[in-house]
A and B are shown apart, each in its own frame.
Chain A
Amino acid sequence: MSDLKTGHLQGTTLYSYTRLFHERQATFEELIREVAKRGQGPGLEVIGFQSIRNWPNPGKEFIAKFKDLIQETQLIPTSMAVNADLGLRRDRLLSEDEMIDYMAAQINMASELGFPLARVQVSMTPDVMEALLPVAEKANVKLGLEIHSHHSPRHPDMVAHRERYEKLDSGYLGFVPDWGTTCVGMPPSLITKYRKTGVPEEMITELEAIWQVHHSEGAPLDGPTQGKRMGQIAGLAGKYGFGETAIDYAINHCGLFGHADPEEWRDIMHLVWHTHGKFFGMHDGVEPTTPIPDILKVYADVGYTGSISSEYEGFHWNNWSNPFDQVDEHQKFIRQTMLGYGYEVRTKA
């Protein structure tokens, strides 16, 4: 008789395998079958605007085929990632009513496909989230605002969302933590890529040093701080003759590898049903960039029973590792860590 407690639902997002899909090495259906075959579910997350043609109006045939595939593979839809394309028109922003319609179409399709939650992004204001609440309730789809670097649970924008969600107390508005918010360094595979592409050692040393300075200062809590940091990185890239791609360095360094303390997740866990277990690459069985044991300690302490998608993001620069192997290693490490905290991760439907 095991005295282990029941832990979270293991899962993955098709985002982890973006490179295979983007390069047309695998179809949507092939990716889902491979997820099932490898036991990387049962939780399955999909990005509507990535995987599904004519999203959010994919048509009856697609809907029926998707449902059959879920039935056959015994995977469990966890999260449909939707996008708020506020600036899709070049002459003006979408009005609030247009944005609500744009989101409602995606939320309703998430529901029709069997997803219990829609991941939404930071361009949503607390007012728009509140306006979407009736849509979410009617569709029976929870809305999880992703907290992604450079934001963090204690960023004023996120605090404003949390206060609104707590006030509404609907059970439908919450957060999706992205573990890239709480990093402890830059990914070794990115440094490897820099070396492969001829970035000088002096520049790598300076990049890492600046990351550490930003880390000691903590996650930025306002726009000017973030802007200043991005300017520093872009300036450094320019100094070494990479002016053309300076913005890329700035986005990578200030947008992907966040500086918040994992303890901050504790503030919002009562509003979390789904998580992006972001990671950048496993090395010898561990993930050096996202401190998984520290993060999962919070999850264990609160007895989290929602879902976690292993979200591999090293593919942006890493064109040599197999993303399915990466997710295997990540999930193994998570299961072991949770065992150490007295939890058995749910790996079966």
Chain B
Amino acid sequence: MASHDTVLSSQSLIATANGLSLALTIPWYRSLWVSSVTTVSVSIDGQAIAQDALRFRINGKSFTIDEVPNQWEELWFLQDRAYLDIPLATPGVVGAEHEIEFHIELRLPYMQIKPGFYLPNIVHQVVTLKVQA
């Protein structure tokens, strides 16, 4: 529904010292607690990145994917970017192009449809992005 076309932009792929980082806009119309992120995964040029290698970085803090569900006091503000840090064998190369397959699922904590089941928002994007400085 909302905001599927805004989670990644042409500026989202960023070079880091040990790989790449994806700048994410929250795919919803309001800020949500980080605990609302139920799934996040990424493949680069067809290569799936292991979940335990990823870091979810926001508000100056960095979390493993396992730690994300417990972050219910950490707010992902609508205008802020969260970063998915992706370690690779070599540093990111500015200007290089990569095919990014990105998947994120949210559970909306104020919309419980039935006990234990929350309205989700699911975004799946396959885009080619140029690495930014």
Min CB distance B3 to A, Å, is 6
Work out how many contacts link A and B, with CB atoms closer than 8 A.
80
Q: In this assembly, does A192 line the interface, its C-beta being within 8 Å of a C-beta of chain B?
A: no
Binary B-proximity of A111-134 (CB < 8 A = 1, otherwise 0) = 000000000010100000000000
Residues of A within 8 A of B112 (CB): 86-87, 93, 123
Q: How far is the CA of A83 from the CA of B109 in the complex (A)?
A: 9
CB atoms of B29 and A89 under 8 A apart: no
Determine the residue in chain B with the shortest Cβ distance to A50.
B30
CB atoms of A22 and B124 under 8 A apart: no
**CB proximity to A under 8 Å, residues B89-107:** 107
Determine the residue in chain B with the shortest Cβ distance to A316.
B2
**CB proximity to A under 8 Å, residues B32-48:** 32-33, 35-36
Binary A-proximity of B64-77 (CB < 8 A = 1, otherwise 0) = 00000110100101
Residues of B within 8 A of A49 (CB): 30-32, 78
CB atoms of A245 and B122 under 8 A apart: yes
CB atoms of A87 and B70 under 8 A apart: no
Which of A3-11, A246-254, A277-285, A297-305 participates in binding chain B? A246-254
CB atoms of A90 and B72 under 8 A apart: yes
Min CB distance B98 to A, Å, is 22
CB atoms of B31 and A55 under 8 A apart: yes
Q: How far is the CA of A118 from the CA of B5 in the complex (A)?
A: 30
Min CB distance B85 to A, Å, is 22
Residue in B25, B78, B112, B118 with the greatest tally of chain A CB atoms within 10 Å: B78
Q: How far is the CA of A123 from the CA of B119 in the complex (A)?
A: 12
Known: A90-B35, A90-B69. A15 touches B29 (CB 8 A): yes
Q: How far is the CA of A193 from the CA of B79 in the complex (A)?
A: 25
Residues of A within 8 A of B2 (CB): 316
CB atoms of B1 and A248 under 8 A apart: yes
Q: How far is the CA of A20 from the CA of B32 in the complex (A)?
A: 18
Residues of B within 8 A of A252 (CB): 1
Counting contact residues on chain B (CB < 8 A from A), the size range is 20 to 34
Min CB distance A153 to B, Å, is 20
CB atoms of B30 and A83 under 8 A apart: yes
Q: In this assembly, does A95 line the interface, its C-beta being within 8 Å of a C-beta of chain B?
A: no
A15, A24, A121, A223: the one within 8 Å of B79 (CB): A24
Min CB distance A280 to B, Å, is 13
Residue in A85, A86, A123 with the greatest tally of chain B CB atoms within 10 Å: A85
Q: How far is the CA of A90 from the CA of B30 in the complex (A)?
A: 19
Min CB distance A63 to B, Å, is 17
CB atoms of A86 and B109 under 8 A apart: yes
Residues of B within 8 A of A255 (CB): 119
A50, A89, A93: the one within 8 Å of B78 (CB): A50
Residues of A within 8 A of B75 (CB): 54-55
CB atoms of B29 and A50 under 8 A apart: yes
CB atoms of B122 and A247 under 8 A apart: yes
Known: A49-B31, A90-B69. A244 touches B111 (CB 8 A): no
B1, B4, B110, B122: the one within 8 Å of A83 (CB): B110
Residues of A within 8 A of B29 (CB): 15, 18, 22, 47, 50
- 12 pairs, CB–CB < 8 Å, chain A vs chain B: A22-B29, A23-B25, A50-B29, A50-B30, A51-B78, A87-B118, A88-B109, A89-B72, A90-B70, A90-B72, A123-B111, A316-B3
Interface residues of A (CB under 8 A from B): 15, 18-19, 21-24, 47, 49-51, 53-55, 83-90, 93, 121, 123, 223, 244-245, 247-248, 251-252, 255-256, 316, 319
- 15 new A-B contacts, CB < 8 A, other than A21-B79, A22-B25, are A22-B29, A23-B6, A47-B30, A49-B31, A50-B29, A83-B30, A83-B110, A88-B33, A88-B36, A223-B114, A248-B4, A248-B122, A251-B119, A316-B2, A319-B5
- Nearest 5 interchain pairs by C-beta: A87-B109, A85-B109, A49-B30, A50-B30, A90-B69
